Amino acid sequence: MHLCKTIDNFLYLKQNSEVTISRINNRNRRNYRGKKEEPYRVNKKIRVPQVRLVGDNVEQGIYNTEDALKIAQDLGLDLVEISPKADPPVCRATDYSKFKYEQKKKQKELKAKTQKVVVKEIRFGPNTDDHDFNFKLKHAENFLKEGAKVRAYVQFVGRTIVFKDRGFNLLKRFIGELEELGKVEQAPKLEGKKMSVILTPKAGKK
């Protein structure tokens, strides 16, 4: 009777200890997955023997890593490895939190500048009348104001290819009407049965 009770207690404790260990391991795995790796090596994590030290209020040059770290700490700053592939690696004496904020801000600005450019198309025929031309011109003005590029083209169908001069003059007029808002990125050129021009918005013209 006592032996059975002892065995039951042992199994109960073993089972609960395994559950507890499993919970701890799961929590550790979640923490590991959720922890974001730092993009730069900082202070004691810089393990190379020498670095090139840069930064404000420091004498720039090559130092033993321990000496460079001491210089940064004496200034109340961190030692941040900014060019790990250089020989020796380049480290900056700086406030790491401020440094990360500035780098993140620069990346956002760069991303904003490299956003995909929208290209809107305007189609004409060689015999487009004034009403249709002005209607499509208004659309092109709005596109340029919104920051999009405009690709205008004249489509020659069948024997209308003989009116290439009309197509060229139409696109030339189109460019002239939009000179306040857009500049020519690609001059009118004929490709097959299509003559096209590309206008890009002028800076500040919105």
Same domain as 139, residue 93? no
Instruction: List pLDDT tens digits, range 129-141.
Output: 999 999 999 999 9
User: Is residue 8 over pLDDT 60?
Assistant: no
Instruction: State which residues form the domain around 92.
Output: 43-98
Residues 141 and 197 in one domain: yes
Interatomic CA distance for residues 137 and 143, integer angstroms = 10
CATH number of the domain enclosing 47: 3.10.20.80
Residues 179 and 135 in one domain: yes
Q: Is residue 180 included in any domain, yes or no?
A: yes
Whether 136 and 197 share a structural domain: yes
Which alpha helices (H) appear in 79-147, and where do they start and end? 96-113, 130-145
Query: Is residue 183 situated within a structural domain?
Result: yes
Q: Give the Cα separation of 88 and 92 in Å (integer).
A: 13
Residues 124 and 197 in one domain: yes
Same domain as 189, residue 130: yes
CATH of residue 182's domain is 3.30.110.10
CB 143 within 8 A of CB 150: yes
Does the residue 176 lie in any domain? yes
175 in any annotated domain: yes
Contact partners, residue 7, CB within 8 Å, separation at least 6: none
Mean pLDDT of the chain: 84
Statement to judge: residues 135 and 181 lie in one domain: yes
Q: What is the mean pLDDT of residues 135-162?
A: 93
Residue 155 clears pLDDT 90, i.e. is over it: yes
Number of domains the chain contains: 2
**pLDDT class for 32, splitting at 50, 70, 90?**
very low
Residues 155 and 94 in one domain: no
Asked if residue 22 belongs to a domain, the reply is no
Q: Does residue 154 lie within any of the structural domains?
A: yes
For residue 36, is it within any domain?
no
Residues 123 and 191 in one domain: yes
Q: Is the pLDDT of residue 168 over 70?
A: yes
Whether the pTM exceeds 0.75: the reply is no
Q: Is the pLDDT of residue 7 over 60?
A: no
pLDDT at 16: 53
Asked if the model's pLDDT at residue 20 lies above 50, the reply is no
- 39-94: per-residue pLDDT in tens? 899 999 999 999 999 999 899 999 999 999 999 999 999 999 999 999 999 999 99
